[in-house]
Amino acid sequence: MAEEEFLVPLDTYLKSGLHIGTKYKTKYMEPFIYKVRSDGLSILNVQQINERLKILANFLSQYDPQDILVVGRRENSWQAVRTFSQVTGVKAFIGRYPPGVLLNPQLEGFMEVKLLFVVDPWPDKNVIDDALKLGIPVVALCDTNNTANDLDLVVPCNNKGKKSLGLIFYILAKEYIKLKNLGVLKAKLEDFGVEEE
């Protein structure tokens, strides 16, 4: 694949560890695995990650910022999700999602959204359950150990690493702003939790 077809240089993807999966793999994620290293870690196909990020950016751009909710329970995602929310205007829920926030208007923090985007379907399963009850599309970042039940779009990646998540949300913010004609992304990669070397 030509370098210019990547959303960021290939080297940037590799330095972030975006393609490093876990030792466990599910049947749902096997099609995205390029190879398994001698230490047992699965390596995801970077070209497929890049393609899925393009698809996700295009999908997100079909929605206004107030209609999207990004949920990240894992602490490694908090800075990236928070920065993504600040620069795009997309709603974010960081930390533990209390069941019912999308369903019950009586609850404090009740939200109405049209698209749910989760960092990891396993710890974020409560919000996925609520979205399914409402018929809201669900997109998720999935590592090799995730299942894709009830997901409308899967983006294969290392969804546990801080650098990996920072790069993903940086790319999505840049693409979302570009596709929505909202100007130019003013935040830097470091703002998303990725230190440049």
Range of the domain at 38: 3-181
Position 100 in a domain: yes
Tell me the pTM: 0.93
28 in any annotated domain: yes
Query: Does a structural domain hold residue 176?
Result: yes
SS3 44: strand
CATH of residue 14: 3.40.50.10490
Measure the CA–CA gap between 113 and 147, rounded to whole angstroms: 24
Lowest model confidence (mean pLDDT) among 28-37, 42-51, 57-66: 28-37
Answer whether 58's CB lies under 8 Å from 50's CB.
Answer: no
Query: Mind listing the pLDDT tens digit for each residue in 112-141?
Result: 999 999 999 999 999 999 999 999 999 999
Q: What is the residue-wise DSSP string for 76-107?
A: GGHHHHHHHHHHH--EEEESPPPTTTTT-TTS
Is residue 135, in this structure, part of any structural domain at all?
A: yes
d(CA 155, CA 55): 9
- How far is Cα 189 from Cα 131, in angstroms, rounded to an integer? 30
Average pLDDT, the chain: 93
pLDDT digits (tens, 9 = 90+) for 3-23: 558 999 999 999 999 999 898
Q: Is the pLDDT of residue 1 over 90?
A: no
pLDDT of residue 47: 95
Residue 197 lies in a domain: no
Burial of residue 90, with CB atoms counted within 10 A of its CB: 0-12 exposed, 13-18 middle, 19 or more buried: buried
Specify the DSSP class assigned to residue 3: G
Q: Ramachandran region of residue 26, left (φ > 0), alpha (ψ -120 to 50) or beta?
A: beta
Q: Is residue 196 part of a domain?
A: no
How many domains in the chain?
Answer: 1
